[in-house]
Amino acid sequence: MSCKKSHQLLLKLDDSLHFTEKKIRDELSSVVRTGEYLWLAFDEGHGLERLKRVKDTYQGHQTFSLTEYMHLPEGKDEVDIEGLAYDGTYIWIVGSHSTKRGKPDERKDSLKKRIKCLAKVKNDPNRHTLARIPVLKDPETGEYTLYKSCPDPKNPGQFLTASRLKANKTQSQLTKALKKDKHFQPFMDIPGKDNGLDIEGIAVMGERIFLGLRGPVLRGWAIILEVQVKQKGKDTLKLKKIGKHKQRYRKHMVNLHGMGIRELAVAQDDLLILAGPTMDCDGTIALYRIPGGLPDKVESMLYNDEIERLVNVTLGHETEYGRDKAEGLTLTEDNELLVVYDAPASHRLKDESDAYADIFTYPEGKSV
């Protein structure tokens, strides 16, 4: 393994910006960087959290609701944002696209009610989100700001517009297509935490958009979906037909020793993968690299010897059982890797609302 943890940076978060009983630091699900700014998402949110780098901290917390930039079928209900990416013009956002099983209260309710709760499966419309929002840097202040619509600085006379993939209250164009797929059809109605469909990562390389799946994992093989989009109307995206048989996606199978994908990131031509347990259990979360990225214009299967395992990010029970789940990965301005955690262990917590992110060195001789 060729990565190692070097230090930590403090994330200073303001829980008063959201009306939720849970702390933001306990629910972090994704992260991406633009210049000196970090953008974060958390499980029960419907927007993005922005922090600015000041020495060894990220602070100045501001929040941006997706409803200010696009229509969501259920308004400010949870989007379950599980992946963020930046392509130089847009921040890309992906929801889990998964159904969720009821979670019984901790012995608070009757046994009958708790058992009944486990039989309930819910399909939240906002989860079926794949979207992009223009983000531009102010040339004078250096501040990165989101826009619903704005002139394209690279193409005079054209506009950049916040857009969301075509969807209704039960499915997106992507899930509609996957329901006809021989690999995915059996898993489409199974909740994400039960090895059903669960998108938990996104990376963008040019026109290629990669979606990392926590589930399903098939006989130990994790899946990365590749899609491309085109603008349809003012604020809607549509999937291009890119498959051999005019499918609207390509499949890349990756052997990660039975683990599912928790996050994706791009490092020059390489694709980075955070991988961990598919089911709701404790276990190792590791960082992998696919040198040169995924093959273009074809589907693929990548074996163990074609993938580099860089480092074990966390070992689950080594710290506190059920905690310290690495969920977000991005590259820093210092060519290092920044990782944020869902349910962070107690040693990562500071004061009432702050938490530490880990910084890992990147392999020598490979600049990001």
Q: Is residue 193 part of a domain?
A: yes
Q: Is residue 89 part of a domain?
A: yes
Q: Is residue 222 part of a domain?
A: yes
Query: Within a 10 A sphere around the Cβ of 202, how many other Cβ atoms?
Result: 24
Reported as a single tens digit per residue, the pLDDT across 139-166 is: 889 999 999 999 999 999 999 999 999 9
Q: Is residue 42 part of a domain?
A: no
Q: Identify whether 295 is preceded by a cis peptide bond (ω within 30 of 0).
A: no
Could you tell me the sign of the dihedral formed by the alpha carbons of 345, 349, 353, 355, in that order? Answer: negative
Q: Is residue 23 part of a domain?
A: no
Tokens 């890349």 identify what position?
A: 252
The H or E element containing residue 186 is none
249 contacts 241 by C-beta, under 8 angstroms: no
Per cent of the chain over pLDDT 90 is: 82
pLDDT average, residue stretch 69-91 = 94
**Residue 21 contacts by C-beta under 8 Å, 6 or more apart in sequence?**
none
Q: List the domain range (segments joined by +) for residue 295.
A: 68-327
pLDDT, position 317 = 67
67 contacts 75 by C-beta, under 8 angstroms: yes
pLDDT average, residue stretch 73-99 = 94
pLDDT average, residue stretch 196-211 = 98
User: Where are the alpha helices (H) located in the chain, listed in sequence order?
Assistant: 111-118, 173-178
Q: Is residue 179 part of a domain?
A: yes
Q: Is residue 314 part of a domain?
A: yes
Q: Is residue 100 part of a domain?
A: yes
How many residues are there in the chain?
368
pLDDT at 368 over 50: no
* Chain Cα centroid distance, residue 270: 18
Reported as a single tens digit per residue, the pLDDT across 322-337 is: 789 999 999 999 889 9
Number of domains the chain is built from? 1
Reported as a single tens digit per residue, the pLDDT across 252-269 is: 999 999 999 999 999 989
